[in-house]
Structure 1
Amino acid sequence: MTGIAVLLVLGSGFVHSVWNLYTKRSLNKNVFLWFCQLTAVVVFLPWAIVELDAVHWSGQTALLVAASMALHGLYVVLLAAAYSIGDLSQVYPIMRGTSPLLVPFAGVFLIGEPLSVYGWGGVAFIVCGIVLLSGIRFDRSGSGTLRAPLLALAVGVCIASYIVVDKLALDHVPAVVLNEASNIGNMLALSVAAFRSNGIRQEWAANGKTIILGGILAPGGYLLFLLALSLAPVAQLAPMREIGTVFGTAMGIWILKEQQGPRRLFTSLMITAGVVVLGIWGGA
């Protein structure tokens, strides 16, 4: 792995946590994210048009791009729902820790690939961290508080899915074109909820500057990761990107003043440690 790929991934993790902080602080998550995607489509469109000549068009290319758009669109809808009811320091580590956990499990149980003792140790760290962070409890009425953790898990499934699809798509499509396609998919997926909310003017008035910045950071951070994927294997890079788990948790605790700070910071470190061990020493 080159030093450039490492820097790109670390930068991607930090940028990702920053725009997630902005999303959590917004008034209406669907509207805020819709505005961010609209901004991203406009900002990155000229660059994407320039790179269109490098696309190797085929039926497989169209299928991969369409799958990427659909998965990214589902991801952003679930993300808005998760942040509408859950804390940043709770939701963010769960969704970031889930995606690198699923790939090894799929390899072991579906493909028959081996996992080392260290790899299983990493899995145990991630699972324990997610369970501790979920804050599972029940109130007197008997209803649980599982909705935010379950939404975060669903977001993690989407992340794992679109990373695999996007890695395959990069063989046919330049990173900036693929990123622009996902921006369009995200915007379309959020459009109905955004227009039905009647909160577009209010969100822009309250967070217009943040929307513009988020519209650059959100796709920009993932573009950094896509560029890194073109330089090194996804199995090596994906775990390193999860350092954003610690960044996001720390921001939720110290900037948003969310509760249970020490416990959530500890569990986010546990998840990150598990991801790193799994990514580096997981192979048998």
Structure 2
Amino acid sequence: MPAIALALPSGGSSAAVPVAVLVAAVLHAVWNGLAHRIQDKLVGFALINLAYTACAVVLVALNPLPAAAAWPYLLASVVMQVVSQLLLLRAYQLGDFGQMYPIARGSAPLLVAVLSVTVLGQGLGGGELLGVLVISCGLIGLAFAKGIPGRAQLPALGAAAGTGVMIASYTVLDGSGVRQAGTVGGYVAWLFLLQGPSLALIAWIRRGRGLFVGVGPVVPVGIAGGVLSLTAYGLVVWAQSRGSLAAVAALRETSIVIAALIATMVFRERLGRLRMTASATVLAGIAVLELARP
């Protein structure tokens, strides 16, 4: 993300890296909050995607083209990213922000750990296993925060969990694809450029000309969400190039707790002690899991 990273400190300051990641965590939670705030979620996600598509056009012009070997990974990741957004959109339509966001975000590191054992054949150390168990406990607490889920809650929980599956899938794909690309900035720029129009096109197919009727008041919110999303990703990439990848990944998940605060203060959702404790438990488990990796 050279276009974004150029505005950041160029030195290897130990303080700059965690500050950048914390800012990225805040921005990630905020743009998700903005998406949830727009009453028509389909319109909100379409606007957000169009906004960062416009930004991606600039980034594509400023970065080299990824190597040919990276394109199968990149295209598969685009599909996963679009499906992830559609599932997250559905989760926000059906459930509370304070419950859906932690389940979607927190389940991804857990699933990545499971995939590393079942698919890649990599064993889990004691610290990693502890992290998996702690995350599992936190997710169970979030899922049962309102008691045993009835049929009415299952679609929302399923959409949030499905989002986590997609996040875990494209995380594995991008981890391989970036190594083949020869350019982090070019890979990410094309990822956003291809992903954004895809979701906007799906929204157009669903609604046609009526998609953006009367949406003038929420256009600034959608644009802000798209810019924040792309900026958050740029900050994380910059931090990963200068700090410990495991520490950056763990610190980034503070967005879960930030999202819980947004849900309480902005959306007036009653999180209660159980949901707050469960969110903090997921965060703690992610930190243990990431920091325990070699």
For the criterion TM > 0.5, the same-fold answer is yes
| CA drift at 1:236 | 4.1
Q: Report whether the alignment pairs 1:215 with 2:226.
A: yes
Deviations 1:94-135 (A, max 9, x none): 111111111222223334433233332222221111111113
CA contact (8 A) 1:126 1:275 kept: yes
**CA separation in 2, counterparts of 1:232 and 1:70?**
30
- Aligned residue for 1:16? 28
| Matching residue within 196, 199, 223 for 1:186 | 196
- Aligned residue for 1:280? 291
- Aligned residue for 1:67? 76
Distance 1:180 1:282, change over 3 A: closer
TM-score between the two structures when normalised by the length of structure 1: 0.87
| Matching residue within 116, 133, 136 for 1:107 | 116
| Matching residue within 141, 151, 155 for 2:163 | 155
**CA separation in 2, counterparts of 1:56 and 1:117?**
37
**CA separation in 1, counterparts of 2:252 and 2:227?**
19
TM-score between the two structures when normalised by the length of structure 2: 0.84
Distance 1:222 1:131, change over 3 A: same
Q: Read off the aligned partner of 1:223 and give its amino acid letter.
A: G
CA contact (8 A) 1:100 1:239 kept: no
Distance 1:150 1:40, change over 3 A: same
CA contact (8 A) 1:69 1:185 kept: yes
CA contact (8 A) 2:60 2:186 kept: yes
**CA separation in 2, counterparts of 1:173 and 1:68?**
17
| Matching residue within 224, 240, 249 for 2:251 | 240
Q: What percentage of aligned pairs have identical amino acids?
A: 26
SS in 1 for 2:226: helix
- Aligned residue for 2:103? 94
CA contact (8 A) 2:46 2:203 kept: no
**CA separation in 2, counterparts of 1:57 and 1:260?**
46
- Aligned residue for 1:57? 67
Structure 1 runs not aligned, ≥5 long: none
- Aligned residue for 1:47? 59
| CA drift at 1:168 | 2.7
CA contact (8 A) 1:71 1:162 kept: yes
CA contact (8 A) 1:100 1:238 kept: no
Q: Report whether the alignment pairs 1:33 with 2:45.
A: yes
Q: Read off the aligned partner of 2:221 and give its amino acid letter.
A: T
Query: Could you say what the CA RMSD is over the residues aligned between the two structures, in angstroms?
Result: 2.3
Q: Report whether the alignment pairs 1:165 with 2:200.
A: no
- Aligned residue for 2:86? 77
Q: Read off the aligned partner of 2:176 and give its amino acid letter.
A: L
Moved more, 244-253 or 30-39: 30-39
Distance 1:228 1:165, change over 3 A: farther
Q: Report whether the alignment pairs 1:201 with 2:197.
A: no
Distance 1:194 1:134, change over 3 A: farther
CA contact (8 A) 1:126 1:274 kept: yes
CA contact (8 A) 1:22 1:214 kept: yes
Q: Report whether the alignment pairs 1:227 with 2:235.
A: no
**CA separation in 1, counterparts of 2:293 and 2:73?**
28
Distance 1:277 1:217, change over 3 A: same
